[in-house]
């Protein structure tokens, strides 16, 4: 039997269910297991014994319920991860998962009831690979000076990385999303979390966009010579759309590279859509007039506006990855995906499904009518040189 040197707190008001959970955790080799009948007792235990790696948490109980407990410990670092163990309906548990994320807690999984040892063991294995309590994960390097990030842009340290969008049936690559990475001379390759907030606060998002476009259009030209005609997709923010000079600069860039607007897609999140003003809409129209495609990114993650969807000149919907992550167990997510696919077809818009990581997900999405996806099943983001090599080896996802 597996052994996990983890500290776990079981929050369950039903004595038999609590005893069952404690017994399973001890059988699986957890180092310490604590138990509480309600949230107040759980808080008292944490105060006495210190932080735990996992809280196995029921939601509905007579005393302080599980939701109130989670609100109390959110941001306190007293609980590393949360596993839900509740008989409440799937839609209620799904909403609680969103609350857990908003509280800054790591959601490890939902085992439901009755508790299954195999499912519990799988989540313990998942947590075991993360840093244990008392050993916080390495801090994301933060560059705090504006001059450093300006220097990085001038010196070409901001590198474009590419993640393929692929045909769910054949694995053929349809295009790529262009993502930013900082090749820092001292700290190595940094993800956007390390520098994007500073870029935004310094008003440097346009500089990053056009640096990415320069690199991507050069790569697109190389790909054409290798008989790969790939669309390049770039992320745009609402603030960038409000700039009158955006569309003319993109047009000039396309002219300089002898590139067609039809080879570009610009992705805007739903929150950006809701903020779209007169200038923003004008820029969207100008981009379409240049032949560019426009995508609504993370569709379904915010408060979707169907009116905006109909009124603005978008050509593509990118369905948020959260729907794929819960696809297997939640009929509502299947319904949302199926409905979005039907909506896209009715509006003449393509639908790209994000977050596909397993073959099982791909098969489910095919049965629902999905055609195009993006995710680790096909490929992780890669540099331009890696993309050229990867395509040259004719790797497919099917």
Q: What is the tens place of the pLDDT at every residue in 167-194?
A: 999 999 999 999 999 998 888 888 888 8
Instruction: Calculate the alpha carbon distances from 240 to 205, 208, 245 in Å.
Output: 7, 11, 9
Q: How far apart are CA 85 and CA 110, in angstroms?
A: 6
**What is the residue-wise DSSP string for 268-325?**
EEHHHHHT--HHHHHHHHHHHHTT-EEEEEEETSS---HHHHHHS---EEEE-THHHH
Q: How far apart are CA 44 and CA 394, in angstroms?
A: 58
Q: What is the pLDDT of residues 197-225, one digit of tens each?
A: 889 889 999 999 999 999 999 999 999 99
Q: What is the mean pLDDT of residues 357-379?
A: 94
Is pLDDT of 22 > 50? Answer: yes
Give 304's pLDDT tier (boundaries 50, 70, 90): low
Q: How far apart are CA 319 and CA 337, in angstroms?
A: 8
Residue 189's pLDDT is: 87
Segment among 257-261, 292-296, 331-335 with least mean pLDDT? 331-335
Rounding to the nearest 10 degrees, give the CA dihedral for residues 131, 132, 135, 139: 30
CB 354 within 8 A of CB 373: yes
Residue 140's pLDDT is: 44
Residue 277's pLDDT is: 64
Domains and CATH numbers, the chain: 7-128 (3.40.50.2300), 146-392 (3.20.20.450)
pTM, rounded to two decimals = 0.70
Q: How far apart are CA 362 and CA 168, in angstroms?
A: 7
Q: What is the mean pLDDT of residues 128-135?
A: 48
Give backbone dihedrals phi and psi of 375, rounded to 5 degrees, phi first: 160, 175
Catalytic-role residue among 62, 354, 359, 360: 354
Is pLDDT of 45 > 90? Answer: yes
Residue 354 annotated among the catalytic residues of the structure: yes
Residue 1's pLDDT is: 46
Give backbone dihedrals phi and psi of 131, rounded to 5 degrees, phi first: -60, 140
Q: How far apart are CA 22 and CA 38, in angstroms?
A: 15
């Amino acid at each position: 039997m597996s052994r996990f040197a983890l500290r776990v707190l079981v929050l369950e008001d039903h004595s038999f269910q609590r005893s069952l959970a404690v017994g399973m955790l001890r059988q699986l080799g957890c180092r310490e297991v604590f138990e509480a009948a309600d949230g107040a007792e759980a808080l008292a235990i944490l105060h006495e014994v210190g932080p735990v790696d996992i809280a196995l948490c029921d939601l509905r109980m007579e005393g302080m319920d599980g939701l109130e407990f989670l609100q109390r410990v959110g941001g306190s670092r007293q609980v590393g991860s949360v596993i839900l163990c509740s008989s409440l309906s799937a839609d209620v548990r799904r909403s609680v998962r969103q609350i857990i994320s908003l509280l800054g807690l790591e959601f490890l999984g939902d085992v439901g009831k009755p508790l299954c040892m195999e499912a519990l063991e799988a989540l313990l294995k998942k947590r075991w690979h993360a840093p244990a309590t008392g050993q916080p994960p390495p801090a994301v390097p933060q560059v705090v000076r504006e001059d450093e990030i300006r220097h990085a842009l001038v010196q070409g340290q901001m590198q474009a990385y590419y993640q393929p969008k692929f045909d769910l049936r054949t694995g053929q690559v349809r295009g790529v999303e262009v993502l930013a990475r900082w090749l820092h001379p001292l700290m190595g390759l940094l993800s956007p979390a390390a520098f994007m907030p500073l870029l935004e606060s310094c008003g440097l998002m346009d500089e990053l966009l056009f640096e990415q476009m320069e690199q991507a259009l050069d790569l697109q030209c190389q790909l054409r010579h290798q008989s790969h005609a790939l669309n390049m997709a770039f992320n745009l923010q609402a603030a960038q759309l409000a700039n009158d000079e955006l569309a003319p600069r993109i047009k000039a860039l396309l002219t300089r590279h002898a590139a067609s607007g039809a080879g570009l897609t610009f992705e805007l999140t739903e929150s950006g859509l809701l903020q779209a003003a007169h200038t923003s809409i004008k820029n969207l129209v100008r981009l379409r007039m240049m032949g560019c495609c426009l995508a609504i990114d993370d569709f379904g993650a915010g408060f979707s506006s169907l009116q905006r969807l109909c009124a603005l000149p978008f050509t593509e919907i990118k369905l948020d990855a959260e729907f794929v992550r819960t696809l297997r167990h939640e009929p509502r997510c299947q319904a949302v995906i199926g409905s979005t696919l039907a909506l896209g077809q009715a509006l003449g818009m393509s639908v790209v499904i994000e977050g596909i990581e397993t073959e099982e997900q791909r098969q489910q999405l095919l049965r629902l009518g999905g055609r195009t996806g993006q995710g680790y099943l096909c490929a992780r983001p890669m540099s331009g040189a890696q993309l050229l090599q990867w395509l040259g080896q004719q790797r497919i996802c099917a």
